[in-house]
Structure 1
Amino acid sequence: MLVKWIRCAVVDRRGFERGQRKWAGLLGEPGFRGQGGGWSRQHPDVAHVFGFWESRAFYDSFMARTHDRLASAQTGTYRDMQAKLFDHVFDLKTGFEPRFTDADVVRIAHCTVRADRAEHFTLMQQQVWNPAMAGSPGMVRGLFAAAPADEFLVLSMWLSAAERGKYQVERVERLSLRAQTEVDIQAIGGDIVQLEPTWTV
């Protein structure tokens, strides 16, 4: 599965939200699995959108045919758009499905890992971080995905920001030491996204 993560700095919030609803036109596109997103809880004018496709071939076909028509509804409503593509590597917790209706927030961690540590980083995600997150009552589902140049995306869906906060306070520092995260990671960025139900396709 191909994962697309889009981050936009929005200058016209109402216009952007209106345009976001036009993406309902994705329904029926060959290979399209689902899309959702919302506003950053840390930066009020930043929007995040997550799209899921069965394969790169289906995605490329959509980009060549339909994308520009759907995207035109949001022209002028944002600046500094960044779009990144990742390949799904494994699920966090149970079988991942691109559904957004049973979660309230999404946590994203975007990591650039030292080339010689990528294998270790992936192993630690499986053996340390994944079981810890899966054992947190408020965590719904998630995935671990990779891109070239040792870039990784960890996406987790939570029942609420409060539930996710409990997990963070209780465990992150201890787990980080155990997983040797600081040794593996060159750069890390992330955000907590308040999901907007009307953006779900």
Structure 2
Amino acid sequence: MIKWVRCHAVDVDSFDRGQRAWSALSGLPGFLGQFGGWSRRKPGVAHVFAWWNSQRDHQEFMAGAHDHLAANQVGTYDTIEARLWEHCLDIGAGLPTGFSSGSVVRLAHCRVKAGRQEHFVRAQANVWNPGMGAASGMLGGAFARRGQTEFLVLSLWNSVADHERYRTDRFPDLHHRARATEDLDDITGDQIELNPAWTVVG
């Protein structure tokens, strides 16, 4: 399972200090790793991604240690959204493998047209994943699903320049071959500058 948490911080410095306290996640049953950072496009917006071995492990964490850790950030943000996703596919080396070495994450939140889900998943496996995995500077990624029509694509890059080169050199051809326009109802995205102090190794 992948947990995606999106917050808008009203006190960036205090939020950052509170986020560092989540290092206590290390060693909890079923916890595989966590990383996050600040949006490069939306000031004050933080994204955090956590990997759990199973939904049950996550539920036990929520019923136990979560509230104590979350108390460190009370009052530092005004909005928060948390969503749990089922991991479907790795991209390249996958995640959380190696995410301590990357500097930027590309997030794509996709809503797929009814009846196009199977094609969208096949295109991800057969077109997008090989194309992204072969791109210079791409360190790993994950493709996840929530419900029937909602999908999350995360890719970890060595640098912003590496991702921009992929956008210029590879993305247009992959987008055409995947027939993405036919599949998508809506897509929103962000580019996240990772904060190494927020990384927690499972």
TM-score with structure 2 setting the length: 0.96
Q: CA offsets per residue over residues 27-79 of structure 1, 9 Å max, x none?
A: 12110001110001111211000001000000000001111110011011112
Distance 2:168 2:39 in 1: 20
Q: Which residue of 1 aligns with 2:136?
A: 137
Check whether the contact 1:141–1:157 (CA below 8 A) recurs between aligned residues.
Answer: yes
Offset at 1:171?
2.2
Tell me, yes or no, if structure 1 residue 26 matches structure 2 residue 25.
yes
What SS does structure 2 have at the residue aligned with 1:144?
strand
Query: Contact (CA 8 Å) 1:33, 1:98: kept in 2 or not?
Result: no
Question: Paired residue for 1:124?
Answer: 123
Alignment of 1:10-21 (within 5 A): 10-21=9-20
| Structure 2 CA distance for aligned equivalents of residues 94 and 71 of structure 1 | 31
1:66 equivalent in alignment to 2:46: no
TM superposition shift of 1:98: 4.6
Partner of 1:179: 178
AA partner of residue 182 (structure 1): T
Rounded Cα–Cα distance in structure 2 between residues aligned with 1:115 and 1:184: 9
**Shift in Å, 1:95:** 4.4
* Match of residue 153 from structure 2: 154
Match status 1:51 vs 2:50: yes
**For 2:170 and 2:94, how far apart are their aligned partners in 1?**
23
Q: What SS does the corresponding residue of 2:163 show, helix, strand or coil?
A: helix
2:105 maps to 1:103: no
- Counterpart of 1:137, as a letter, is S
Q: What is the distance in 1 between the residues matched to 2:95 and 2:35? A: 14
Equivalent-residue separation in structure 2 for 1:46 and 1:98 (angstroms): 25
**Letter in structure 2 aligned against 1:27:** S
Aligned to 2:190: 191
How many residues are matched?
A: 200
Aligned to 2:162: 163
Q: Which runs of structure 1 show a deviation greater than 4 angstroms over 4 or more consecutive aligned residues?
A: none
Q: TM-score, normalised by structure 1?
A: 0.96
SS at match of 1:177: helix
1: distance between equivalents of 2:130 and 2:94? 14
Q: Helix, strand or coil for the counterpart of 2:162?
A: helix
Partner letter of residue 102 of structure 2?
Answer: A
**Cross-structure match for 1:83:** 82
Q: Which AA in structure 2 matches 1:63?
A: M
Residues 34 and 99 in structure 1, CA contact (< 8 A), matched pair in contact too? no
Matched residue type, 2:68: R
Q: RMSD of the TM alignment (CA)?
A: 1.1
**Structure 1 unaligned runs (5+)?**
none
